[in-house]
Chains A and B, each alone.
Chain A
Amino acid sequence: MAGHLDVIVIGGGIAGVAAALESAAAGAVTAVVRAGPGATALASGAWHGPLPSLLGEALAAAGLPHLPVDTLLPHPFGDLRPADNAPATHAAARIDEAACVCGIAGLPHFPAAALARMWRAPRHVTLALPETPAAGWSPVALAAALERDPAGLIAALRQLGAGTRAILPAVLGLDPLARTAERVAAAAGVDVAEALGVPPSVPGWRLDRTLVRVLERSGVTLLEGRVVDRAVQDDVVLSVRVAVRGEPVLRELAAAAFVLATGRFVGGGIAAADGGEEVDVARGQALREASLVERALGCDVWIEHLGDRFREVQPVPLTDPVRAEPQALLRAGVHVDAAGRPRDVQDQVRYRNVTARGAVVAATSHGLGRAAAGAAGGAA
């Protein structure tokens, strides 16, 4: 491991990789500490908000180009969803006269007839592949099988006739570098597009694998591990201690600046506290310990609807029973100033050399299943 680092990015999802690319492009020696796939790997394929140009170019170079979307994208829940960008196979999934919704026999949760009705597609068909397993396909097993040998699917798609746009479930290969969709389209003589994905999300997995490739190609050091401790002096983080996977001893990594991009709940950036209590001696009453903690750097977690009270003596409802209402819990996170630096309970900057990015920041509304542009704000 190189001794000197300028920037350490904690978190390797979209926000973390975007920050690392900016930092590396600015000439800083950068490392990314990544615990594993997070919420990015569960993304549906639709991208909301602007795609940072550096990240967009890097994704394209690594085999997963994102295109601007000028239509609503079909989602397997039965609705059509707006998106700003999407990988080419999803961006092509326009529902018009040429569209034919193609279910696959044995693959659950993609009922072609019902989806065609809800998406208002003129045609639907259920394709039968050879060698369907007795208990049916899972999307992952099917994507792996099609990546290896798409001949069965190609033969079935040929029956649709030229000029058709086949809207398939998101199972055309696990690895974007295998170019399964292009191979299938060329051999079958029809246009091929994929609907968005739901967990276990093949589009999310492709995005996550591609982000790792982007880091490898951009000269950023990638460490698989979790930040467990930090050394702080005068609101400056000097170093972090990282439990690298497979190494028995913690590594101490020092840098001039840190980016906190650990995500929210699924990413593991924000977690429930152990439930300890602390006592406010001056007022002689038990003060409820903050119920949520930021795990990597110990920043205070801000809950939006508490406003300036920040930490409340009485327990407060974090969820609304009406699902459509805004849920305070889903907007909890690290409170930042205009420069993206985390603020503490007293509204003071907690660490002067830390910038928070992505879903770990309070009140960013994107979350599970949504690749988003929280990555775009702030500077590394």
Chain B
Amino acid sequence: MKRRLLAWLNLAYHFWKHVLTRWWLRPFRRGRDLRRFRAQVEPEGYLPLPFADRAQFPDFMRCIHCGLCALACPALRAAPVTAWVEAWTFVAGPSRSLDRVALVARAAAPCARCAVCPAICPTGVPIDRLAVMIEGLAAGARAG
């Protein structure tokens, strides 16, 4: 009977502690919760995508792997670089894993944003917007 009473008291204490602290402190602690969430998922290679970025993915998925963007790229012609610099390898691949984003962002450093590749894409993939997004994701991955 005594242990039962102690258990109830313990439960009541934690309930009220939650109501009085966590609940109303919640708006002030949102950043910390997000950090905890990211710390859980990022080692797995998942990145949180803003809605605006996610909405662009159907456009990126129009890629047919023809590689014309790579053939037209002036930066690629000027300097030998790794295969990952080419936009289409990123578009075509499993494009959201964390290691890949960092790899592409590092390799895509010579990209001069000359906008030749989106103009030449036969299916109209907005490759310049993809480059901006990759950079943002890589920066976010480093910060987080």
Contacts and interface: CB of A to CB of B under 8 A. Distances in A.
B109 interface: no
A33 to B, nearest CB: 15
Q: Residue among B82, B85, B89 with the most chain A CB within 10 A? A: B82
B17 interface: no
Given A36-B119, A200-B66, A138 B83 contact: yes
**Would you call the interface of chain B mostly helix, strand, loop, or mixed?**
helix
A133 B119 CA distance: 28
Contact of A141 (B68, B76, B119): B76
A376 B133 CA distance: 45
A266 B81 CA distance: 28
B95 to A, nearest CB: 16
B66 A138 contact: no
A26 interface: no
Contacts of A139: 67
B7 interface: no
Contact of A140 (B71, B78, B103, B119): B71
B65 interface: yes
Nearest to B84: A135
B36 interface: no
A268 interface: yes
A150 B37 CA distance: 51
Given A140-B76, A174-B77, A200 B64 contact: no
Contact of A37 (B68, B70, B73, B84): B68
B80 interface: yes
A369 B95 CA distance: 26
Contacts of A131: 80
A134 interface: yes
A47 interface: no
Interface string A122-152: 0000000001011111111110110000000
A14 to B, nearest CB: 16
Interface string A345-373: 00000000000000000000000000000
Contact of A199 (B67, B78, B81, B107): B67
A260 interface: no
A41 interface: yes
B120 interface: yes
B15 to A, nearest CB: 55
B90 interface: no
B80 A199 contact: no
A155 B123 CA distance: 41
A267 B64 CA distance: 12
Interface residues of B, number: 26
Contacts of A199: 65-67
B86 A140 contact: yes
Given A38-B122, A135-B107, A200-B88, A141 B67 contact: no
A338 B122 CA distance: 31
A144 B76 contact: yes
Contacts of B107: 135
A136 B86 CA distance: 12
B68 A200 contact: yes
A205 interface: yes
A23 B139 CA distance: 55
Interface string B56-100: 000000001111101111001110111111101100000000000
Contact of B86 (A41, A134, A138, A174): A138
Given A42-B66, A144-B76, A199-B66, A36 B120 contact: yes
Given A36-B120, A135-B107, A205 B84 contact: no
B122 to A, nearest CB: 5
A245 interface: yes
Contacts of B85: 138, 141
A201 interface: yes
A266 B82 CA distance: 27
Nearest to A108: B83
Interface in A72-94: none
A266 B66 contact: yes
Given A135-B103, A200-B86, A205-B68, 16 more contacts: A36-B119, A131-B80, A134-B82, A135-B107, A136-B83, A137-B80, A138-B82, A138-B89, A140-B73, A141-B70, A141-B86, A144-B80, A200-B66, A200-B70, A200-B88, A205-B71
Closest 3 CB pairs of A and B: A200-B67, A135-B82, A138-B83
11 contacts: A36-B122, A133-B81, A134-B82, A135-B107, A136-B83, A137-B83, A138-B86, A138-B89, A141-B70, A266-B66, A267-B122
